[in-house]
Amino acid sequence: MPVTFRILPSQYLIYLRYHGILAAEDNIRVLGEIVAHPDFRKGMRALVDLTGIDGWDPDYLAVMRFGAREAEVHDDPARPTVVVCLAPNDETRRIAQIVNRTWEGSGRKVAVTVDTEPEALAVLGIGLPSIAAMLQSA
């Protein structure tokens, strides 16, 4: 599967790492795995690492299904969900923009797209220099 995840309960964070060709159906499948994980809590922040993406399958209907499923997983009426996309190039920024549009206007998701790991961690308030350091400290 071109996506892996790790839940970091101490950071109240889901880290998702993508590689290869991104397909919305893979996202829907991994969201099911995340919800089934014993450390999952609704409203957890997400760090979406798109640095390993080579391209994507532009199935817009599947993207809409993903957005609906993502709302089920992340939406916490008590507070907006923060999703930080690490998208270091034009292709990954386009993908992040399309995915983040699924909740546009809802006020329930705060989506931020950044170019570098330090930026991503700073937005999340994680005082570590890299994702590797974050994963090691968890």
pTM, 2 dp: 0.88
**Higher per-residue confidence, 88 vs 102:** 88
pLDDT of residue 138: 78
pLDDT tens for 69-94 read 666 666 677 778 899 999 999 999 99
Identify the weakest region by mean pLDDT among 13-17, 22-26, 35-39, 125-129: 22-26
**Higher per-residue confidence, 101 vs 81:** 81
Q: Give me the number of domains the chain comprises.
A: 1
CATH label of the domain that carries residue 47: 3.30.750.24
Residue spans of alpha helices (H) in the chain: 24-36, 60-74, 90-100, 117-123, 131-137
Please give the share of the chain, as a percent, with pLDDT higher than 90: 51
Residue 125 has pLDDT above 80, yes or no: yes
Which domain, by its residues, includes 100?
Answer: 3-137
Residues 45, 12: contact at Cβ < 8 Å? Answer: yes
pLDDT of residue 98: 78
pLDDT of residue 6: 97
φ, ψ for residue 112, nearest 5 deg: -130, 130
